[in-house]
Amino acid sequence: MNAAELRKYFPILDQEVNGHPLVYLDSAATSQKPVQVIEAVNEYYQKHNSNVHRGVHTLGNRATDLYEGARDKVRSFINAASMKEIVFLRGTTTALNLVAQSYGGANVQEGDEIVITYMEHHSNIIPWQQLAKQKGAVLKYIPLQPDGTISIEDVRETVTSKTKIVSVMMVSNVLGTINPIEDITKIAHENGAVMVVDGAQAAPHLAIDVQKLDCDFFAFSGHKMCGPTGIGVLYGKQALLEKMEPVEFGGEMIDFVGLYESTWKELPWKFEGGTPIIAGAVGLGAAIDFLNEIGLDAIEQHEHKLAAYALEKLSAIEGFSIYGPPNGSDRAGVITFNLDDVHPHDVATVLDAEGIAVRAGHHCAQPLMKWLDVSATARASFYVYNTEEDIDRLAASLLKTKEYFSDVF
Amino acid sequence: MSFNNLDQLYRQVIMDHYKNPRNKGAIEDGSVTVDMNNPTCGDRIHLTMKVEDGIVTDAKFDGEGCSISMASASMMTQAIKGKDMDHAMKLSHVFSEMMLGNDYPDDVDLDDIEALQGVAKFPARIKCATLSWKAMEKGLQDEQ
C-alpha cells in the first residue's frame, strides 16, 4: 500500500493548522474518514433515507437492504459464521456493557470471578466493576510484565474454575501490545469461562477471524476504522446470544406485544431496540469496503513499519522515554511517550502549535497509568494515511519542544 | 528557540511558578481540605487552607499536572493568603472571567496572575488553569 497515495481520499488532512500542514497522529482516539465513507452516508441521506424493517414502500426496502447489507459486510470482515451474530450498537462501550449486564447479569453469582488485565481501557473495566458490585463477584487483574505484555503463566494463575468471564483487549491503546487472544481464550474455556475481547484497537489494524480466535464475544467501534461515530458492533456466538436477554426494550426489538407480556424478535434484532443507526451502519459498510480494498495485512505491515521507524527515530532523542514493548516485538502503531520533565500537556500544546495532533493525558486507562507510575503520557498513533515524513515532522518538533522548555526554564 | 504564539502562554513568570512553586505541601491542621482532579487529563490537586475569622490565613497545595495547572495553583495560593473569604471568591470570579476572555473588573490587584491571561487563547488548556481555583471555591463555599 502507498500511504502518500491514500491521503488524497482524506480531504481533512489537506489543511493547515496553526500555519503548518496538519500531521494527524491521533487515530487511536478516532480515525479520519475517507471520501468513500463520507459520500456513502451523504448518498444514503440524499437518496434512500427511510426507516428499516417496516415499510412496504420502496425507500423502506432500500434502507433495509443497505442496513442488512452492511451487517453482512461486518460478518465477512471478522469472519463470523452468521449475520445473526452481528449486533449493531453505538460502539465498543455499549457492546461491553451489554455483555456485562445481559450475559453477566444472568451467569455471574456471588463469589464468582471476572478476570481482566491492568492494561484495559476504562470501557473494559467499569462495566465489570459494576457487575462485580451488583453480584458480590470478585474482579481480578492479570498483571503485566515489565515490557507491557501479558505472560500466559500469569493468565493460567489468575483464571480459575470460579472464573465466569475473562475480558481482555486485543491491542492496547497505550502500549501498542498485541495480546495472545487465542491462547487466553483456550485458558478461559478450559476453566469454563467465556472470553470477551475488546477489539476497538484491533479491528481497524489487523485481520480479525472470530472463529479462529474462538472468542465468545468481540466488540469494536466504527469510528476508529474510517467509519462514522456512533456505530459499533458486538459479535457473539449464536448459542450464547440466543439465551441472552436484551438490555434495551421498546420498538423494533419486539415480536408480539401484549398488555403485560411481550416477546422478542429473533437474533440479532432483539438487541437493537429503537430505530437503528442506519446511516452509521451504511458508513461502516463503506469503511469496510475501503479497508478491504487496501487489505488488512497490508495495513498491519504498514503500521508495523511506521512503529519501528518511529521507535528508532524517537529513541534517538535524549530524554525521550517510551512505554510498551521494545522495538522488534510484535507491536501496533501506537507510541506512548514522555519527554524529559516536560508535562505531556505542554508537549501536546507545543506540537499543536506546529500543526501536529497527538493525545496527552491518561488515555482512559488510569489503572495502567498507575502501573506505569506516571500521571500522564503523550501518545502518537498511526493509520493508513500516515507516512515516515509525519514521523520526521514529529521528531523535529519534539526536539524543538525540548529546546523551548530548556530555554524557558 | 521561540514560538511566537506560545510565548503568550508560557510566560516567564508562569515558568518561574512551575519550577519554584510557592506554598507547595499540605497544612497539617488545615481547617479546609479539597481534593479535585481533572478527569479528562489526570491533573489532580490537594488543597489545604486555614480559615480564621473569615480570613484565609494559610493555603498550601500538592498535586500533579502540567506547567499551567501547577503554576496557576501556586499563584492562587499566593493571592489568597491573608485575604478574607469574600476577596478570595472575588478573585476567583475575576480569574474565571479572564479565562473566558471577558472584560474583568480592574479594581482587584492580580499581580502575577495576570500572566495567565494568554491561556484564554488556548481553549484546551483553560481547564488546567482553573482546577486549583475551583478547588479553592469549593473549599470556601463549604466553609461559609
Which of A350, A362, A409 shows the shortest C-beta gap to B15? A409
Q: What ranges in chain B are assigned the alpha helix state H?
A: 4-7, 12-19, 67-80, 85-99, 126-143
Q: Does A373 touch chain B (CB under 8 A)?
A: no
Q: Which residue of A has its CA nearest to B128?
A: A345
Among the partner-chain residues A344, A354, A400, the one whose CB lies closest to the CB of B1 is: A400
In this prediction the pTM is 0.94
Q: DSSP readout, A351-378? A: HHHTTEE-EEE-TT-HHHHHHHT-S-EE
Res. B108 pLDDT band, cuts 50 70 90: confident
* pLDDT value at B5 more than 80: no
Give the residue from A206, A204, A130 showing the smallest Cα distance to A167.
Answer: A130
A397 backbone φψ class: left, alpha, beta (φ>0; ψ -120 to 50): alpha
Closest CA to A195 of A177, A176, A208, A182: A182
List domains and CATH numbers for chain A: 3-25+295-408 (3.90.1150.10), 38-292 (3.40.640.10)
CA distance A393 to A247: 47
Interface of B to A at Cβ within 8 Å reads 1-3, 5-6, 9-10, 12, 15, 19, 40-44, 64-69, 122, 124-125, 128
pLDDT at B92: 95
What is the rounded CA–CA span in Å between residue B121 and residue A150? 43
Annotated active-site residue in A206, A364, A372, A380: A364
Number of H helices, E strands in chain A: 15, 17
Q: Is A18 left (phi over 0), alpha (psi -120 to 50) or beta?
A: left
Nearest to B3 among A344, A369, A404 (CB): A404
Q: Tell me what pLDDT residue B105 has.
A: 85
User: Cα torsion for A403, A406, B3, B8, to the nearest 10°?
Assistant: 170
What pLDDT is stored for residue A315 in this prediction? Answer: 93
8-state DSSP, A235: E
A367 at interface of B, judged by CB pairs closer than 8 A: no
Q: Give B17's contacts in chain A (Cβ within 8 Å).
A: none
ipTM here: 0.85
Check CB contact under 8 Å for B42 and A361.
Answer: yes
Angle between helices A344-353 and A388-408 (to 10 degrees): 120
Domains of chain B: 3-143 (3.90.1010.10)
- Residue window 298-357, chain A: list those with CB within 8 Å of chain B: 343-346, 349-350, 352-354
Q: What digits encode the pLDDT tens for the residues A74-120?
A: 999 999 999 999 999 999 999 999 999 999 999 999 999 999 999 99
Find cell 449486533 and name the residue: A87
Instruction: Provide CB contacts within 8 A for B101, sequence distance 6+.
Output: B120, B121
pLDDT band for position B4 (cuts 50, 70, 90)? low
Please state, rounded to an integer, the average pLDDT across all residues of chain B: 91
Nearest residue of chain A to residue B4 (CA atoms): A353
Mutate to test the interface with A, among B67, B72, B125 (most CBs of A within 10 A): B67
Contacts of A10-15 with C-beta under 8 Å, sequence gap 24+, read: A10/A34, A10/A35, A10/A385, A11/A35, A11/A38, A13/A385
Cell (9 digits) for A405: 522548555
CA-based nearest residue in chain B for residue A409: B15
Contact B31, B117 (CB under 8 A): no
Residue ranges of chain A with pLDDT lower than 50?
none
